[in-house]
């Protein structure tokens, strides 16, 4: 029975930002394929998307790659048209793409603000709408998972202003769609990762403006489980939320954060005596 709860055989899953770069989307796509789903891989990096599709095919699962810039509404429409052509159905959508732009709020230009809003919020809205329309028409329900961040519920500081604002928006988009689409048995949930060891985080540690060791230490003081996350941690939680094991769960924001949000910004994991 337990295997049945997690079995995705016969379902089609579209994962955005799932190019083969060792990031969260890459790990999610591979995990959903392993659970039996047929995969549709979207990414602005065409070669990366093709590589993930090849990896999945090499394990005898079906997978198709498509170049899509989530900041371009026409690309999103074209991606869903290709999905219709190849599979003719969709059961699972994982909105994984997000970008950031680090800047002090007082220095952030409107153009940079709009660029992040366009990719993170417009892109998540439009992909959800395209998937939702199809799921409603199909009449078989479906599952949408949005990869949000702890930044959607808690301020990060350090110039993450517009990124955090979009993650707050994604959290609310998740709740609204969960309620609007519950009558169609479409479940909509979000995952809130803390720092995960993906290329994006590794790039941050290489930023010459930052002292990498200090940054790592400071980040870890906010994670009670005392380690950074791995993309597999996000893949495991996504598999749970899209599967039948979670079929009474919708509108939920699931932190996958080693206890970071539980600790909260004002807390400390160290007892004064041990300091
Ligand atoms: N890594 C972390 O510490 C962390 C923490 C919290 C939340 N998250 C979230 O997890 C998700 C994935 O993050 P990651 O760290 O794996 O990112 P990443 O930068 O390592 O990978 C992102 C992927 O998205 C693709 N991409 C970038 N811009 C795109 C666009 N405009 N259109 C389509 N594809 C695009 C890239 O080519 C890449 O394959 C994001 O939503 C991010 O906010 C990550």
**87 catalytic residue (yes or no):** no
Higher pLDDT, 50 or 212: 50
Around ligand 1, the residues with Cβ closer than 6 Å are 17, 19, 21, 23-25, 43-45, 48, 68-71, 96-99, 119, 147, 149, 193, 195-196, 198-201
Residue 79 lies in a domain: yes
Tell me the average pLDDT of the chain: 96
Question: What pLDDT is recorded for position 119?
Answer: 99
Residue nearest to atom 25 of ligand 1 (CA): 17
Cα distance between residue 267 and residue 275, in whole Å: 14
Given a cut of 70, whether residue 266 has pLDDT beyond it is no
Residue 215 lies in a domain: no
Give the number of domains in the chain: 1
Q: pLDDT (tens digit, 9 = 90+) per residue, 94-148?
A: 999 999 999 999 999 999 999 999 999 999 999 999 999 999 999 999 999 999 9
Global pTM value: 0.97
Question: What pLDDT is recorded for position 275?
Answer: 55
Q: Which two tokens stand for residue 32?
A: 């959903």
Given a cut of 70, whether residue 201 has pLDDT beyond it is yes
Residue 75 lies in a domain: yes
Residue 142 lies in a domain: yes
CATH number reported for the structural domain that contains residue 236 in this entry: 3.40.50.720
Distance between Cα 197 and ligand 1 center (Å): 11
Q: pLDDT (tens digit, 9 = 90+) per residue, 17-52?
A: 999 999 999 999 999 999 999 999 999 999 999 999
For residue 257, give the nearest of 201, 194, 168 by alpha carbon.
194
Residue 204 lies in a domain: no
Domain assignment of residue 34, given as a range: 2-194+229-255
Residue 271 lies in a domain: no
Residue 224 lies in a domain: no
- pLDDT-derived band at 265 (thresholds 50, 70, 90) equals low
What is the DSSP code (8-state) at residue 183? G
Residue 103 lies in a domain: yes
Q: Which two tokens stand for residue 215?
A: 């940054």
Question: What pLDDT is recorded for position 158?
Answer: 86
Question: What pLDDT is recorded for position 11?
Answer: 98
């Amino acid at each position: 029975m337990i295997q049945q709860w997690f079995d995705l055989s016969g379902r089609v899953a579209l994962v955005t930002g799932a190019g083969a770069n060792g990031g969260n989307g890459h790990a999610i796509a591979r995990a959903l394929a392993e659970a039996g789903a047929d995969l549709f891989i979207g990414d602005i990096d065409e070669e990366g998307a093709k590589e993930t599709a090849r990896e999945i095919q090499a394990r005898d699962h079906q997978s198709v790659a498509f170049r899509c810039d989530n900041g371009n509404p026409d690309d999103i429409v074209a991606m869903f048209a290709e999905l219709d052509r190849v599979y003719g159905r969709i059961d699972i959508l994982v909105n994984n793409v997000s970008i950031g732009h680090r800047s002090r709020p007082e220095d952030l230009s409107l153009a940079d603000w709009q660029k992040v809003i366009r990719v993170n919020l417009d892109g998540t809205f439009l992909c959800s709408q395209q998937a939702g329309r199809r799921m409603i028409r199909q009449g078989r329900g479906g599952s949408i998972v949005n990869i949000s961040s702890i930044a959607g519920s808690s301020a990060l500081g350090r110039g993450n202003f517009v990124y955090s604002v979009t993650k707050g928006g994604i959290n609310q988009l998740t709740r609204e769609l969960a309620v609007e689409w519950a009558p169609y048995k479409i479940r909509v949930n979000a995952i809130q990762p803390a720092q995960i060891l993906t290329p994006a985080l590794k790039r941050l540690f290489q930023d010459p403006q930052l002292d990498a060791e200090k940054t790592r230490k400071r980040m870890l003081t906010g994670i009670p489980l005392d380690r950074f996350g791995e993309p597999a941690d996000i893949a495991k939680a996504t598999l749970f939320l899209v599967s039948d094991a979670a079929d009474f769960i919708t509108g939920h924001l699931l932190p996958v954060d080693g206890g970071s949000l539980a600790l909260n910004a004002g807390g400390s994991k160290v007892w004064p005596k041990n300091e």
